[in-house]
């Protein structure tokens, strides 16, 4: 019983049950209509038989007979052999009654307890012996002749038909139930395959797995596409969450590693000032200058690490239209303030060069390119920044006239905390890693080559309409 309820709760069981109930309702309606139609035809056949009886001959036969006691209306003995007329006039189960002045004149085989007719026409009546159908017609002299017949044979035929239809209907319902179960199983086979595929994804927890597309039936194919789209969204969401967690862990590790040196130097200078209150003005000023420099270095490290961490996570970065010409001009003004002895030059078209991206990330990209050129170019040298449109891309080029970078070292400089030959004392080693990360986040790339000025050339190509591209984050 429990297994049956479990089967009926399944989709296959419900489809089969509904189909069986539908067919059973149709069979019941058709059977009821067939029985009603057959019963109507039987009734019409009986009525036709009654209407075909010869009224005149029956009346004459009744009027010429008497009973054994001489009383009219008794059990008459008419015709040869004591029967009422020839056999053609006496169908089996028939009775006849002749009435006059509201009373019974004569009767043949009339059942006990039958009410006398009050009017002419057909009627159905019951007695203790069964059900009867009668036809009453007028005769000469103001009398009535009632001819009736027993309906038991007709009722038996109707009952036999009803029983046969019930048996056939039950067999048909059983057959339809079994066939519906089998056909529902065939129809649901693609859905079971889809369920098995979803079960594999659930058991392996591999969100990169996709369900096989089923073109037929269309509803299953649409469901498969929807599940695959959901899995893709979950995979992206899980990837973003993992990236955010990894970025947080990396930020904590990098911050702890890189801040140790400036914080140690800052602590040493502050300790020197605390332990030597009588320190001379020159020594005190030098210690404060060193402390301020190390604090600034720590702040710059934290800013760079925070920008890298947000780029690594790639989640909820604000995206908006950005005029890259305005960003470059603002960054160039800040670079002039930091390095007033450098000869800064800018080449850019007069119109706006706009792209969709993260404003803070694009500003960090330009700041670090300019800062790198100022630090590693020739002292009091020239730095040239060029911005141009190239098809659907924007190209930013920064040239310096320094010693340049050997080809063997160029790729390594884009790694985090990687420094050039003079990088141990200058810079954090994060600037170029941040530049590459932001270039890739904005659908582009950065390359390092030789500058016409004699030093290094950094060229950044950005997609003008790409927005934030999370699939190409820097490692």
For 306-329, the pLDDT digits (tens) are: 666 666 655 567 788 999 999 999
Q: Which residue has the higher pLDDT, 342 or 249?
A: 342
Which of 128, 127, 137 minimizes the C-alpha distance to 96? 137
CA atoms within 13 Å, Cβ hemisphere of 294: 19
Residue 56's pLDDT band, with cuts at 50, 70 and 90, is: confident
Which of 112, 113, 104 minimizes the C-alpha distance to 136? 104
Which pLDDT does position 401 carry in this prediction? 92
Residue 409 pLDDT > 60, yes or no? Answer: yes
Token pair of 11 as six digits: 């989709």
Give 415-453 pLDDT, tens digit per residue: 876 666 554 445 567 778 888 988 988 889 999 999 999
Residue 54 pLDDT > 50, yes or no? Answer: yes
When the pLDDT of each residue in the chain is averaged and rounded to a whole number, the result is: 78
Name the β-bridge partners of 134.
123, 148
Which pLDDT does position 2 carry in this prediction? 59
Residues in the chain: 475
Which pLDDT does position 396 carry in this prediction? 95
- Residue 113 CB neighbours (<10 A): 10
pTM of the model: 0.46
Which pLDDT does position 78 carry in this prediction? 34
Mean pLDDT for 25-38 is: 92
CB contact at 8 A, 389 and 461? no
Which pLDDT does position 329 carry in this prediction? 93
Quick one: what percent of the chain has pLDDT higher than 70? 72
Which pLDDT does position 468 carry in this prediction? 53
Which pLDDT does position 238 carry in this prediction? 74
Q: Which residue has the higher pLDDT, 114 or 302?
A: 114
CB contact at 8 A, 446 and 458? yes
Residue 73's pLDDT band, with cuts at 50, 70 and 90, is: very low
**What contacts 24+ positions apart, CB below 8 Å, involve 228-235?**
231/201, 231/207, 234/207, 235/207, 235/208
Which of 328, 326, 311 minimizes the C-alpha distance to 468? 311
Which pLDDT does position 332 carry in this prediction? 92
Task: Please give the Cα distance from 396 to 355 (Å, whole number).
Answer: 13
Task: Please give the Cα distance from 146 to 152 (Å, whole number).
Answer: 19
Which pLDDT does position 258 carry in this prediction? 57
Among 13-22, 189-198, 247-256, which is the least confidently predicted range? 247-256
Residue 139 pLDDT > 50, yes or no? Answer: yes
Give 335-376 pLDDT, tens digit per residue: 998 899 999 999 998 888 889 888 888 888 998 899 899 988
Which pLDDT does position 117 carry in this prediction? 87
Residue 177 pLDDT > 70, yes or no? Answer: yes
Name the β-bridge partners of 323.
354
């Amino acid at each position: 019983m429990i297994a049956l309820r479990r089967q009926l709760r399944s989709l296959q069981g419900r489809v089969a049950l509904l189909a069986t109930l539908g067919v059973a309702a149709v069979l019941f309606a058709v059977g009821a209509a067939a029985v009603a139609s057959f019963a109507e035809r039987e009734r019409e056949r009986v009525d036709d038989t009654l209407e075909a009886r010869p009224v005149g001959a029956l009346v004459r036969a009744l009027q010429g007979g008497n009973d054994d006691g001489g009383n009219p209306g008794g059990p008459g003995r008419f015709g040869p052999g004591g029967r009422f007329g020839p056999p053609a006039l006496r169908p089996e189960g028939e009775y006849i009654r002749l009435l006059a002045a509201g009373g019974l004149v004569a009767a043949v085989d009339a059942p006990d307890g039958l009410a006398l007719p009050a009017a002419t026409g057909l009627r159905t009546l019951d007695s203790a012996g069964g059900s009867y159908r009668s036809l009453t017609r007028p005769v000469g002299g103001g009398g009535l002749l009632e001819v009736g017949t027993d309906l038991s044979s007709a009722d038996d035929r109707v009952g036999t038909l009803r029983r046969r239809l019930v048996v056939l209907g039950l067999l048909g319902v059983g057959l339809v139930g079994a066939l519906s179960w089998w056909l529902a199983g065939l129809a649901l086979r693609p859905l079971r395959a889809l369920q098995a595929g979803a079960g594999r994804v659930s058991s392996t927890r591999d969100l990169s797995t996709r369900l096989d597309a089923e073109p037929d039936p269309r509803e299953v194919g649409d469901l498969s596409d929807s599940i695959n789209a959901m899995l893709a969204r979950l995979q992206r969401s899980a990837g973003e969450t993992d990236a955010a967690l990894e970025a947080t862990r990396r930020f904590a590790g990098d911050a702890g590693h890189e801040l140790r040196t400036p914080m140690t130097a800052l602590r040493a200078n502050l300790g020197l000032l605390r332990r030597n209150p009588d320190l001379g003005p020159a020594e005190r000023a030098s210690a404060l200058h060193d402390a301020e420099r190390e604090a600034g270095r720590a702040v710059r490290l934290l800013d760079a690490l925070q920008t890298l961490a947000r780029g690594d996570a790639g989640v909820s970065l604000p995206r908006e239209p950005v005029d890259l010409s305005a960003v470059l001009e603002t960054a160039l003004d800040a670079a002039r303030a930091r390095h007033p002895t450098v000869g800064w030059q800018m080449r850019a078209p007069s119109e706006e060069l706009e792209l969709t991206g993260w404003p803070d990330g694009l500003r960090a990209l330009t700041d670090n390119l300019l800062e790198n050129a100022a630090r590693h170019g020739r002292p009091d040298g020239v730095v040239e920044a060029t911005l141009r449109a190239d098809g659907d891309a924007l190209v930013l080029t920064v040239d310096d006239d320094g010693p340049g970078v050997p080809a063997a070292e160029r790729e390594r400089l884009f790694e985090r905390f990687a420094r050039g030959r003079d990088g141990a004392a200058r810079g954090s080693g994060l600037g170029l890693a941040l530049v590459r990360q932001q270039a890739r986040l904005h659908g582009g790339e950065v390359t390092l080559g030789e500058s016409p000025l004699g030093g290094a050339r950094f060229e950044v190509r950005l997609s003008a309409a790409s927005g934030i591209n999370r699939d190409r984050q820097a490692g």
